Amino acid sequence: MLQQVMTAPGVIEIREVPVPEIGADQALIRIEKVGICGSDVHVYHGQHPFTKYPVTQGHEVSGVVDKVGSNVRDLRPGQKVTIEPQVVCGQCHPCRHGKYNLCEQLRVMGFQAPGTAAHFFAVDAAKVTPLPDSFSLEDGAMIEPLAVAVHAVKQAGDVKGKDVVVIGAGPIGNLVAQTAKGMGARKVMITDVSDFRLDIARECGIEECVNTTKEAFGDAMVRVFGPDKADLIYDCAGNNTTMGEAIAHARKGSTIILVAVFAGMASIDLAVVNDHELEIKSSMMYRHEDYLEAIRLVEQNRINLRALVSKRFPFRQYQDAYRHIDEHREQTMKVLINVQE
Ligand SMILES: [Zn+2]
Ligand SMILES: [Zn+2]
C-alpha cells in the first residue's frame, strides 16, 4: 500500500509500505478522503512549532472499516467512518475529568503521531466514529473541522436566540457561523477582508457578510444588530487587529471566544476588557460529543460542507495540492486528497 511521508518541510514522498497489522482493540480503516488544513500548511512550510520530520500527515479523514480486531464489537467491515486524531494519556488532570482535548501529553495524528494519509490505517477502535450510511465521504472528512466549530460555539453555552458575530470567513470561521445558526442563533454576522470567502459564507446561508476593508467593524455591528450590538463574538482570525476590534466594539458585559490559533504575542487592551467586564474565553479542538453533534448537524442539513471544497487531488499528487494552495491561497478554502485515486 502507499503512505504519504513528509521527510522535510516542503518535501513529500509517497512510499510503498506493508499494510499494518491490527491489535485486538484496533480497526483497519481503508482511507478514502484526507483534508488539508491551515495547520498542515504550517507543517509543509516548516512553521509548525510542535511537529518534527519525517511525519505522515492526515487528521481530517474519512474511510471505510476494512477489518476489526477480536475485541471490537461496535464496528463492522464496510462501515463508513471518521477518526478522532487526538492521542491522549488518560492519566492527567484534564483526562481524568473528561477534558481530554486538553491532555497534558496531547499528541495529534498527522503532527506528533502518525497521520492517516495512507491507503490503510490501523487505529484504536475507540478513536473511530461511525458515519451514517447516507453520509458522503467528503462530508465525512470535514467532520473534524466541523467538530472544532461545534466545540467553539458551545463554549458560550446555549446560543439559541443569540446575536452572533464571527470574525474570519475561512473554513473554521465559516463553520462556526453555520454551526451557530444551526444551533439556533437569532442572527449571525461574519466578517472578513476577502470577498471570495464572504461569497462562500453567503452561499452557506449566512445573511450578514461584511468586508471590513469596506465597512468598519464597529459600524457593521450597529447596522446589523442595532445599538445593543451582539451577544457573542467568535474570533476565528486571531490577531491583534481582530481581537483588538472585538474588544473595542463588544457590547459591555458580553463574551468573546478566541477560536483561532493566535498569531504571535497579543497586545490587547485589558483595561477595556476590565472596564467593560468582557468575558474572554477560548476553545481548543473537540471531544467525542462534538463529533456526534457535528454529524447530527450535517444529517439535519444544517451545514453546507460542499461549498467549502475548493479542489481535489489524487493521492500521488499530494505535493501538487500544497503547490496549488500556495499559488491560490486567496481562492482556497478546503483541499481534499482522494486517497484511493
Ligand atoms: Zn485541521
Ligand atoms: Zn492526559
Average pLDDT over residues 294-311: 98
Domain of residue 253: give its range: 149-282
Residue 299 lies in a domain: no
> How far, in Å, is the centroid of ligand 2 from the Cα of 32?
30
Question: Strand 208-211 relative to strand 107-108: parallel, antiparallel, unpaired?
Answer: unpaired
For 194-311, where are the alpha helices, taking DSSP H only?
Answer: 195-203, 217-225, 240-249, 270-275, 288-299
Ligand number nearest to the C-alpha of 109:
1
Residues 88 and 172 in one domain: no
Distance between CA atoms of 168 and 272, rounded to whole angstroms? Answer: 22
> How far, in Å, is the centroid of ligand 1 from the Cα of 228?
35
Question: Strand 107-108 relative to strand 86-87: parallel, antiparallel, unpaired?
Answer: antiparallel
pLDDT for res 27: 98
Residue 221 lies in a domain: yes
Domain count within the chain = 2
Residue 297 lies in a domain: no
Residues 16 and 38 in one domain: yes
> How far, in Å, is the centroid of ligand 2 from the Cα of 155?
21
> How far, in Å, is the centroid of ligand 1 from the Cα of 39?
6
Distance between CA atoms of 250 and 231, rounded to whole angstroms? Answer: 8
Residue 288 lies in a domain: no
pTM of the shown model: 0.97
Residues 91 and 216 in one domain: no
Residues 117 and 231 in one domain: no
Residues 97 and 43 in one domain: yes
Residues 229 and 278 in one domain: yes
Residues 14 and 86 in one domain: yes
> How far, in Å, is the centroid of ligand 2 from the Cα of 30?
28
Residue 124 lies in a domain: yes
Residue closest to 75 by CA, chosen among 16, 28, 19, 5: 28
> How far, in Å, is the centroid of ligand 1 from the Cα of 36?
7
CATH code for the domain of 121: 3.90.180.10
Residue 293 lies in a domain: no
Residue closest to 137 by CA, chosen among 271, 312, 3: 312
Residues 278 and 327 in one domain: no
> How far, in Å, is the centroid of ligand 1 from the Cα of 159?
24
Residue 296 lies in a domain: no
**Cell digits for 130?**
461511525
Average pLDDT over residues 277-301: 98
Amino acid sitting at position 19: V
Residue 268 lies in a domain: yes
CATH code for the domain of 244: 3.40.50.720
Residues 17 and 110 in one domain: yes
Average pLDDT over residues 306-326: 98
Only one residue has cell 477560548, namely: 282
> How far, in Å, is the centroid of ligand 1 from the Cα of 146?
10
> How far, in Å, is the centroid of ligand 1 from the Cα of 170?
12
- At 6, is the secondary structure helix, strand, or coil? strand
Ligand number nearest to the C-alpha of 144:
1
Summarize pLDDT for 186-223 with one digit per residue, the tens: 999 999 999 999 999 999 999 999 999 999 999 999 99
Average pLDDT taken over every residue of the chain: 97
Ligand number nearest to the C-alpha of 105:
2
* CA terminus-to-terminus distance, the chain: 12
pLDDT exceeding 90 applies to what percent of the chain?
98
Residues 277 and 254 in one domain: yes
Only one residue has cell 483561532, namely: 260
Residues 131 and 154 in one domain: no
pLDDT for res 3: 98
103-120: burial string, b at 16+ Cβ within 10 Å, e else: beebebbbbbebbbbbbb
pLDDT for res 228: 97
> How far, in Å, is the centroid of ligand 2 from the Cα of 308?
33
Residues 107 and 157 in one domain: no
Tell me how many degrees the CA angle 126-130-134 measures, rounded to the nearest 5.
175
> How far, in Å, is the centroid of ligand 1 from the Cα of 282?
17
Ligand number nearest to the C-alpha of 89:
2
